[in-house]
Amino acid sequence: MLGIGHELRGDDAIGLLLANRLGSMAAGCDRILAVETGPAPENFTGMLRSFKPDLVVLVDAAFMDAEAGEIGWLSWQDTSGFSASTHTLPLHLLAAYITSEMGCEVTLIGIQPATLNIGAELTPEVRQAAEEISQVFIDAFNIETIYTKG
């Protein structure tokens, strides 16, 4: 899982929070790699290549015209029309590269942000979405929870 976002931009940090939690929860599990990529996930493709994943899950704040904290499974192919991003490389280009070069599936989990203001904290709605997504991973991989909420 690649947690994407910017830690200083409010709800844009959601991908980083989830990667941190999953990494803590799955410590020692050789089936899961969770990476906090910041705004430049393309810098971690070498690590992905070494891991040889079957599936890469991108997690990021996404404007979906929804209520703050709403979670969506998004098609990365549909992100090509987005013109504004806090990332250095558009996600559709990254996903296409990963799919082509590593031969694995790529999916995108988007969380509707309430704010991307510089210096803002994660909002309660987006924090709740993080709890829900964490639980999905816990259930899917039969992981014991060892992280602290916060």
d(CA 135, CA 20): 14
Rg (the chain; Cα; Å): 14
The pLDDT value given to residue 84 = 39
Domains of the chain: 2-140 (3.40.50.1450)
The pLDDT value given to residue 86 = 55
With cut-offs at 50, 70 and 90, classify the pLDDT of residue 80: low
pLDDT tens for each residue of 107-147: 999 999 999 999 999 999 999 999 999 889 888 877 765 44
Going by the DSSP 8-state scheme, the letter that residue 18 receives in this structure is: H
The pLDDT value given to residue 142 = 77
Residue 41, both tokens: 């996930």
Strands 105-111 and 71-74, by their bridges, are antiparallel
- Closest alpha carbon to 110 in 61, 146, 77, 75: 61
- Please tell me whether residue 39 adopts helix, strand or coil conformation: coil
- Measured at the CA of 51, the angle between CA 50 and CA 52, to 5 degrees, comes to 90
- pTM: predicted TM-score of the whole model, two decimal places: 0.88
What is the share, in percent, of the chain residues with pLDDT greater than 70? 89
